[in-house]
Each structure stands twice: as C-alpha cells, then as structure tokens.
Amino acid sequence: MIVRRVRFLVWFMMAGAGVAWAGQLPDFARIVRENRAAVVNISSTEVMKAAIPGLGVPGHFVNPFFHGPPRGNGSAPRRFAMKSLGSGVIIGANGYILTCAHVINHAKQVIVKLANHRDYVARVIGLDTKSDVALLKIPATHLATVRIGHPSRLQVGDWVLAIGAPFGFENSATAGIVSAVGRNLPGSDYVPFIQTDVPINPGNSGGPLFNTRGQVVGINSQIYSRTGGFMGLSFAIPINLAIRISHDLKVSGHVPWSWLGVTIQNVTRKLAVSFDLRKPYGALISEVLPGSPAARSRLQAGDIIVRYDGHPITRASDLPPLVGFTPAGTPAYLKIIRNGHPETLSVVVGALPEALPAAYTRPPRKPHDNTSLGLALRDLTGHERRALGVTQGVFVEGVSHGPGAKAGIVPGDVILSLVGRPTASVPAFMAILAHVLPQHPVPVLIHRDGRSMFLALSK
C-alpha cells in the first residue's frame, strides 16, 4: 500500500511538472491570430533562358522561393516562364510591404495576395541584393500591420514563429528556437543573420519571424540544405536592418553602402594565443585592399579591430553592418590591437564600389621541399606577383601531414608573412621559422583565392 502511494505521488508530481512546463510555452495561436492578416503571399513571373541552379545542390545556401523549377535535358538553353512564390509582411497601413529581394528580382509582374484573398499588382519601390531586402507598394489603405521588435534582445534558445506560404500553402505557421545570432553567410557580409531551426521551405522567403510577444524580429531569407528542402538551418534578416534599408529604398530607391576596404576574419582560440590576446574577440584584418579607404589610413594586416565608433566588435560579423551604414566621407574612430598593444585611429569611410577585385589563379611551378612543416614551398615569379596583386610571398606547392596541414594551409596558398615579418622568399621564410619557438602558435598570413587570411601555425 505504501509503495502504491509513493508511486502515485511520484506520478502526480511528474504530471504536475509537465503541466507547469507546458503552461510556459508561448501562445502561438494568439500570435498567428493577431498577425496573419499582415502576412501576404507573393507570386511573380520571370522569363528565363536556362534552369536556375540552387535547389537540390548538396550543401548550399538556398533562397527558398522557387516552385517547380524546370528540369534540364541537355538541350540548348531556351526561354521559359519561371513562376516564383514567396511571402511578405505589411509594415505600412498604406500598402508598404517588406519581402526578400530574390523573391521579386527580375520579375516582370509581382502579384500580392492578402489574407482576405484580395489580389493587387505591386509596384517595386526598390531592392537591395547585398542585404536581400525589397520594398513593395500596393494600392490599398487601412491594412493590418505588424509590431516591430528588437532583434538585439534575442537569445539563443528563445522561441520564434514564422508565418508564410511554403509551397503555396498560405498562412502556414511553423515554430522553433533561435539557434544563433550574428551569423555571417557567404556573399552577405552586411547582414548578421538570425539562425533558427524553424521549418522554412520554398515559399517562406520574405515572410516574418515573430518573437513570443508577437513582434517581428526578422525576415526569413535563406536555408542551408543538401536537398533543397528544410534541414534544420534557417536564416532571417534582422528586422531593424530591414526597416533601415527599406527607408533608404523609399527615399532614393537604393542603399548607399559604405566600406573600409579590408578583409576580416574571426579570431579563433589559437589565433588569440598567437597574437598574445587573453581571449578570442574582435575582427582580424587579413588584407587591406589597394586604393581603399583603409589603404589611405594607418590600418594594416594583423590589426584586430575591437571597437568601431564606440560599438564593441566581438566577432567579425559585427563590423560590416556598422561600416555599411556609416555615411561615405565620414571619419570613423577605431580601437585596434596591434602587436599586443591597444591603439586608436580614424578612417574616413568611402562609398562601396560596384565591382571589387576578382580572384586570381596560380600557375604551378617547381616546388622547394620543406619537410619540417610538411610544406612544399617555392618562390613566386615577378609575373605571378603582379597577377596575384602581392608584393612578396612564397607559394605552397604541396602539403603533406605535418604542422602546416594542421594549421589549415592548403596547396595554392601564398604565405605572405610569418610572425608579422614579410616572407619575400623561401630562404627568408626559413630564417624567420628558425626563431619560432616549438609548440607555440604564431600567426601566418596567407593569400588564397584572391583574399588574405591569418592562420595559427605551431612548429
């Protein structure tokens, strides 16, 4: 009898705990009920000459909006009409709608369908491919709108909810949690994405991401997929960034991005040790582009930017949005760490040019073996230096097992400096290496695919 009572008490306590936990879940039904009228379905038609790649490509970032892409049969390219589906969110009662640029880019006609099933032909106010934000306008008034939240208050683990039209199924709601914040993706340097595990599929692009207060905190933009469908990795544009960009689009039809002209990377734990930092933080400059605003300042490769105009830089992705919205011609004050010592300097930011230097290829030459690091090195020719746009360096012809491979050096890299000292030739590299202490990571600057980056090398 006593055993039965104990078991019943344990079951009752567990059940009670379960009820209490369930009571803490967000009221998703309320969020959908209060906001579904402000979410729209967007369809557009674009005349194409060939099938669009992306969906179904293994391990690629995908803009999930294409519906039923044509299958190629190996014949010559032909013209066809590609219909795309997407979502949007009403931010102005007078007809202004936010969506993703890739949903309506190159579209011949954009149709917006409201939750009450009324259709409108939308006018494209402007779009910005760098941020993937677009602003539309429909001839309607007294529309339902959403409340804007604060993405900066999001924490990993927070509940979030998306409303959109996956595969054309309008006003579908999906939920999940925030997986990461400030995520930097290839080709989207100016956007610190919100990563979630909210199920996002073709047709969700441009739709809103809500917090538990029913406020929009992001615009769903991309997924990472090996199949073209949802695999647990979704990315949203922070709403404060999207709203700011929409203002520029409304005023001038474009976004006047600014730049410094530097290539940056995160400071890893090993790189922090190699640069004598107490912890990994900041944006490490691996390259200063010729003719850029940074080249006209005192910035140099190896500097670690830890503060920009009073804003702390914790990771590399923190810097581009701050620089991007700084008006061109304005001086910005940077706190950097150089050779282990803090310094403050100013840089006059410039307008981002339309085209940046392209990557170069490297012709193979006879290598010089360096078995102690597992690297096959050789000197660069004058022609190669001009083609690569570098003044010095040694070419990595081959990599075998050893410290070089562990550091991440690959064949085709050009080693520009070691411990901050230029490597003009293989003998110069070997002379510097001779003074490197065993087992202590040191920074090595390499040039790869037209860009430079630091690695931590242990002898």
pLDDT tens-digit profile of 23-68?
A: 578 899 999 999 999 999 999 765 544 433 332 233 445 554 433 3
Highest mean pLDDT among 11-20, 26-35, 166-175: 26-35
What is the pLDDT at residue 227? 63
- pLDDT at residue 139, rounded to an integer: 96
Check: CB of residue 302 under 8 Å from CB of residue 420: yes
pLDDT at 360 over 70: no
For residues 207 and 217, is the Cβ–Cβ distance under 8 A?
A: no
**How far apart are the C-alpha atoms of 60 and 356, rounded to whole Å?**
23
Residue 36, domain extent: 31-70+77-252
* Same-domain pairing of 242 and 104: yes
* pLDDT at residue number 432: 84
pLDDT of residue 24: 74
Provide mean pLDDT across the span 189-217. Answer: 93
Q: Domain for residue 359, yes or no?
A: no
Q: Is the alpha carbon torsion for 181, 182, 185, 188 positive or negative?
A: positive
The two structure tokens encoding residue 459: 């002898």
**CA-CA distance, 250 to 255, in Å (whole number)?**
10
| Whole-number CA gyration radius for the chain | 26
| 296 has a pLDDT exceeding 60 | yes
Q: By the 8 A CB rule, do 362 and 379 touch?
A: no
Where is 137: in which H helix or E strand?
Answer: strand 133-137
Whether 146 contacts 152, CB under 8 Å: no
Query: Phi/psi at 9 (nearest 5 deg)?
Result: -65, -40
Please indicate, yes or no, if residue 358 is contained in any of the structural domains.
no
Mean predicted confidence (pLDDT) in 9-31: 59
Compute the average pLDDT of residues 388-398: 84
CB count within 10 Å of CB 284 equals 27
Share of the chain above pLDDT 70, in %: 81
Mean pLDDT score, 404-423: 88
Task: Say if CB 265 and CB 313 are below 8 A apart.
Answer: no
Residue 259 above 60 pLDDT?
Answer: yes
Geometric angle at alpha carbon 99, from 93 and 102, rounded to 5°: 155
Give the pLDDT confidence score for residue 87 in this predicted structure: 95
Structure tokens at 453: 């980056």
- Reduce the DSSP state of residue 285 to 3 states and report it: strand
* Furthest-apart CA atoms within the chain: distance in Å: 92
As given in the structure block, the two tokens for residue 128 are 């910005």
Higher pLDDT pick, 329 / 184 = 329
Whether 262 and 224 share a structural domain: no
Question: In whole numbers, what is the pLDDT of the chain averaged over residues?
Answer: 82
**Does residue 210 have a pLDDT over 90?**
yes
Residue 459, pLDDT > 50, answer yes
Helix (H) or strand (E) holding 271: helix 269-274
Average pLDDT over residues 166-191: 88
Q: What's the confidence (pLDDT) of residue 451?
A: 84
Looking at the structure of the chain, the number of domains it has is 3
pLDDT at 439 over 80: no
- CB burial string 254-270: b at 16+ within 10 A, e below: ebebbbbbbbbbebbeb
Residue 167 has phi, psi (to 5 degrees) of: 55, 25
Report d(CA 189, CA 151) in Å as an integer. Answer: 18
Asked whether 352 and 368 are in contact (CB, 8 A), the reply is no
- Average pLDDT for 351-379: 62
Could you tell me the CATH number of the domain that includes residue 200? 2.40.10.120
pLDDT given for residue 145 in this prediction: 96
> Is the per-residue pLDDT at 200 higher than 50?
yes
State the pLDDT at residue 56.
Answer: 28
Segment holding 455, helix H or strand E: strand 451-457
Among 95, 101, 121, which Cα is nearest to 110's? 121
Q: Does 242 score more than 50 pLDDT?
A: yes
- Per-residue pLDDT, averaged over 288-317, amounts to 92
Short-list 303, 315, 314, CA closest to 339: 303
Structure confidence at residue 378 (pLDDT):
84
pLDDT above 70 (res 92):
yes
Grouping H, G, I as helix, E, B as strand and the rest as coil, residue 240 is helix
Q: What was the pLDDT predicted at 23?
A: 52
CA distance 333 to 341: 17
102 catalytic per annotation? yes
Note whether 193 and 111 are same-domain residues.
yes
Examine the domain organization and report whether 306 and 439 are in the same domain: no
- DSSP-assigned letters across all residues of 192-235: EEEEE-----TT-TT-EEE-TTSEEEEEEEEEEESSSS--S-EE
Helix residue spans in 288-442 (DSSP H): 319-324, 382-388, 403-407, 426-433
Best-predicted range by mean pLDDT (14-18, 78-82, 160-164, 425-429): 160-164
Q: What is the DSSP letter of 38?
A: G
Same domain, 264 and 248: no
Cα distance between residue 85 and residue 201, in whole Å: 11
Amino acid letter, residue 283: A
DSSP 8-state symbol, 243: H
Active-site annotation holder among 102, 179, 234, 258: 102
Domain membership flag for residue 14: no
Answer yes or no: is 357 within a domain: no
- What pLDDT sits at residue 324? 93
Predicted confidence (pLDDT) at residue 400 exceeds the cutoff of 90 = no
Active site residue 383: no
Considering the domain architecture, whether residues 43 and 123 belong to the same structural domain is answered as yes
Please say if 205 is a catalytic residue. yes
The CA distance from 147 to 216, in Å, is 6
Residue 334 has pLDDT above 80, yes or no: yes
The structure tokens 């939920």 sit at 175
For residue 223, list its beta bridge partners: 62, 234
In the block, tokens 């039965």 appear at: 4
**209 and 108 share one domain:** yes
In contact, 443 and 275? CB cutoff 8 Å: yes
Backbone angles phi, psi at 81, to 5 degrees: -95, 125
pLDDT in tens, 216-236: 999 999 888 766 667 889 999
pLDDT confidence band for 73 (50 / 70 / 90): very low
| Range scoring the smallest mean pLDDT among 55-64, 174-183, 273-282, 413-422 | 55-64
CATH classification at residue 329? 2.30.42.10
3-state secondary structure of 13: helix
- Reduced to 3 states, what is the DSSP secondary structure of residue 237? strand
Last residue in a domain, options 217, 252, 287: 252
With respect to residue 59, please indicate whether it lies within any of the assigned structural domains. Answer: yes
Residue carrying the six token digits 């040019």:
353
Res 228: pLDDT: 65
Let me know whether 122 and 226 are in one domain: yes
Give the pLDDT of residue 207.
96
More confident residue, 64 or 238: 238
Whether residue 403 lies inside any domain: the answer is: yes
pLDDT score of 153: 94
Q: Do 334 and 400 share a domain, yes or no?
A: no
pTM comes to 0.68
